[in-house]
Structure 1
């Protein structure tokens, strides 16, 4: 077995697989109201191709966790079958979703072997949710979270992005809401991955701002457990056992401990969310490459991984692909 090791000694064991670039929300920090030009179907990996590449990663390259992302992975018709076949490889599987449709699919996903879900939810106020997502679907997300919990897809995690002037006053409210329901909340600093390229560091709500707001209502103490390669910095809430996390990709980067690699819906390897280069596995796969040859291509791609995302570098350029086309 090989391994996905880069030039700096980091080994990727966590694979993020984007199943589609499509989404049924229009979050303002991700895409314009009219949506984007979606990927042509013939460019998208088929279900069999997705499962084969997951198999290469697991059986030949030492990947231990696979997280399915999008876009919105619940709009992928073959999702449950992909999860079941990936689970059969003996790997931990998880899903990042906006929660729409989760109330309907959570039982089937759990039966297929999905271990847990992360659900994006930036506000529990209907008006703010509509302002951020351009859709009146808060009740559906709330129902999806409850269904995931009932189906045993836990711990259920909630991902929230605070936007200045929109929901930046709602951190305490979000945490209290999640604590009451037993969900694990993670705040994420907004990253320069929007399709509109409207991100600015000055406009971003920082980890320090988030923690300062939370500390007006809760006592936060750093979690004792080593963080390792986990992206979230965890804090005990009022002594625990409940925690809240902050993923400070911009102001407190954790690139030195990164163990992730990404596969896009059209079969491109991305070694970092902010990489501007990709390595094509789809073409080799469709040309008849063996699993060993695909694994070798993947290992070569990993050797090109940069030391860090470089957001603080004056020469930093935002990736051409937005988050919805990369996979979180």
Structure 2
């Protein structure tokens, strides 16, 4: 197992398989990857990455983008990672989920996060540029095939008044949910201030309707269990040392670079050549170097480490 100098084991890898996307979310942070040519790796390449990761006890692989389901070979990527023993989940905008639901279920995807930021078609389109109907169709089709779904809801000034409706939607369909506070990455301070919405009313509401509350081990995320057993998790990624000190994730960019933190572009290791050449020794050394370089972005008693904007 790889353990950094802060005592944090690396157990999760978040893989951005593409920068391409068919939505245009107004808060998109592009996984902290900017000004990058979209040289996408193949399914076999990602299989090699996962093989090396599993050897080092990195068990969990989150596929994201861009929009991962925009890749027609996304099922092959899942297959390659599953083949070497990785546990795969996907974060998607849901627009193509109906097309892939059956095959993703066959590949035994662990769970799928679907971005659902409004239940009002016009508000949804304003936020994402997408079609709410297609996303809902994808959710229902995925449920038909027995896929475990989790809703991702980024709270904004545009949709903060919908939190009760979205929580009710999750309850009705037996879904878990992430309620995510906006982070100021990939946008101006002016835009951030305009879009940001606070969590206080939501937290008070969850305290009243939940039957149990605990903190997940991963990133120390507060989680509320509702009467029907739906789990509502709060994700506060900005100015949150507790989350950073419990982070066990490294990231991969679409072109094969190891990125140590979403907020930092000065800690990135180029592993593309090692991946394409299937050089296990070189890739292992890069994983070990990444482990040595990892550090919490927000540290206790320190509000801001670097300015990511």
TM-score normalised by length of structure 1: 0.84
Q: Distance in 1 between matches of 2:298 and 2:179?
A: 19
**2:51 matches 1:82:** no
Specify which of 62, 80, 83 is matched with residue 67 of structure 1.
62
Q: Judging changes above 3 Å, is the alpha-carbon distance between structure 1 residues 251 and 73 closer, same or farther for their aligned structure 2 residues?
A: same
Equivalent residues in 2 for 1:67-216 (5 A)? 67-135=62-130, 137-154=131-148, 156-164=149-157, 166-194=158-186, 200=192, 204-214=196-206
More contact order relative to length (CA 8 Å, sep ≥ 6): 1
Residue segments in structure 1 that go unaligned for 5+ positions in a row:
320-328
**Residue in 2 that maps onto 1:49:** 45
- Equivalent residue of 2:218, what SS? coil
User: Pairwise CA RMSD of aligned residues?
Assistant: 2.6
What is the deviation of 1:23? 0.9
Residues 60 and 87 in structure 2, CA contact (< 8 A), matched pair in contact too: yes
Q: Which residue pairs with 2:234 in the alignment?
A: 246
Contact 1:64 1:92 in 2 (8 A): yes
Counterpart in 1 of 2:25? Answer: 27
Question: Take 1:305 and 1:199, find their aligned partners in 2: how far apart are those partners?
Answer: 30
Shift of 1:159: 0.4
Give me the TM-score of the superposition, normalised by structure 2.
0.89
Question: What is the rounded CA distance, in whole Å, between the counterparts of 2:21 and 2:296 in structure 1?
Answer: 31
Aligned to 2:260: 271
Q: SS of the counterpart of 1:170?
A: helix
Quick check: 261-270 or 271-280, which moved more?
A: 271-280
- Residues 46, 80 of structure 2: 8 Å contact kept: no
**Which has the larger displacement, 70-79 or 309-318?**
309-318
> How far apart, in 1, do the equivalents of 2:284 and 2:305 lie?
32
The answer for the alignment partner of 1:324 in structure 2 is none
Cα 1:240–1:9 change in 2 (3 A) is same
Q: Structure 1: how far apart are the matches of 2:296 and 2:63?
A: 25
- Partner secondary structure for residue 109 of structure 2: coil
Give the conservation status (yes or no) of the 8 Å contact 1:117–1:148: no
Partner of 1:16: 14
